[in-house]
Amino acid sequence: MATPHNTASIGEIAETVIMSGDPLRAKFMAEKFLENATLFNTTRNMFGYTGTYKGKKVSIMGHGMGMPSIGIYTHELYHFYGVKQIIRVGTAGCIQPGINIGDIVIAQAACTDSNYINNFLDIPGTFAPIGNFDLLTAAAKSSKDMNIPYHVGNILSSDIFYDSKENWKKWQKLGILAIEMECAALYTNAIEAKRKALTILTISDNIITKEETSSEERQKAFTNMMKVAFSII
């Protein structure tokens, strides 16, 4: 059974999916970590692969940029393909001192400036999307065991990439660790579907100092978060 965005048949996608915004990063992970990987989706060049990692069946797929995009792909994975847990690996810009380029941020929860949640849930208040506790604690332990610098806390999923008003300074005062563009939608979809989700980020940019990395580094060099993701499946 295909969807408008995924040509996979039922059974071709594993119950655990590791996702990245960049489909080329998904391709890189499949080639680096999976055995006997097969391509199950090329629609819109949003590549998806299924193979095995240390004997466990796992799928890898891109999800695009922004909450509408990840919202579509993860909804279909949870509701049409029987996926039980999604681990997002992505990049983010840090807004707190003491967090360095290359460090990992494990998202305990995700604030947002998007209207995605308001349209998705009819509730008389503000919903707070959080990650799965078991996955989060496993990722923190794995990072510690592998001596990978990591931070756990609240992040911001923003619709705005070019922040001309420097609103990040307001979020910084509230202790937000880093900014990306997808996690709040992922966590909301997972909670609504009664499934699991976790976001593991590598700091690619320092919004305070303006330090940044290249697109090639973001695609291929940030393997620590990938190692952590695969270690907890």
- Quick one: angle between helices 23-33 and 224-231, nearest 10? 60
In this prediction, residues 206-214 reach a mean pLDDT of 92
Asked whether residue 9 is domain-assigned, the answer is no
CATH number at residue 203: 3.40.50.1580
Q: Rounded to whole angstroms, how far apart are CA atoms 20 and 92? A: 12
Summarize pLDDT for 65-120 with one digit per residue, the tens: 999 999 999 999 999 999 999 999 999 999 999 999 999 999 999 999 999 988 87
Least confident of 73-87, 198-212, 213-227: 213-227
Asked whether residue 172 is domain-assigned, the answer is yes
Q: Rounded to whole angstroms, how far apart are CA atoms 139 and 47? A: 25
Domain count for the chain, please give it: 1
Give the Å distances, CA to CA, from 18 to 1, 34, 96, 122.
Answer: 21, 11, 27, 29
DSSP string, 55-123: TEEEEEEE--SSHHHHHHHHHHHHHHS---EEEEEEEEEE-STT--TT-EEEEEEEEESSSHHHHH---
The residue to which tokens 């070019």 are assigned: 162
223: pLDDT strictly greater than 90: yes
Please give the model's pTM, rounded to 2 decimal places. Answer: 0.96
219: pLDDT strictly greater than 70: no
Give the Å distances, CA to CA, from 163 to 41, 66, 160, 166, 191.
Answer: 34, 15, 6, 5, 29
DSSP 6: B
Q: How far is Cα of residue 211 from the mean position of the Cα atoms in its chain?
A: 22
Summarize pLDDT for 29-65 with one digit per residue, the tens: 999 999 999 999 999 999 999 999 999 999 999 999 9
Asked whether residue 162 is domain-assigned, the answer is yes
Asked whether residue 91 is domain-assigned, the answer is yes
- Comparing 132 with 126, the larger pLDDT belongs to 132
Q: Rounded to whole angstroms, how far apart are CA atoms 83 and 229? A: 16
Asked whether residue 2 is domain-assigned, the answer is no
Query: Known catalytic residue: 205?
Result: yes
Give the structural domain span for 73.
16-232
**Coil/strand/helix, residue 173:** helix
Asked whether residue 183 is domain-assigned, the answer is yes
Q: Rounded to whole angstroms, how far apart are CA atoms 159 and 69? A: 12
Asked whether residue 6 is domain-assigned, the answer is no
221: pLDDT strictly greater than 90: no
Q: Rounded to whole angstroms, how far apart are CA atoms 93 and 112? A: 15
Q: Rounded to whole angstroms, how far apart are CA atoms 132 and 36? A: 29
Instruction: Count other Cβ atoms within 10 Å, centred on residue 138.
Output: 17
Asked whether residue 203 is domain-assigned, the answer is yes
CA angle at residue 168 from 185 to 162, to 5 degrees? 75
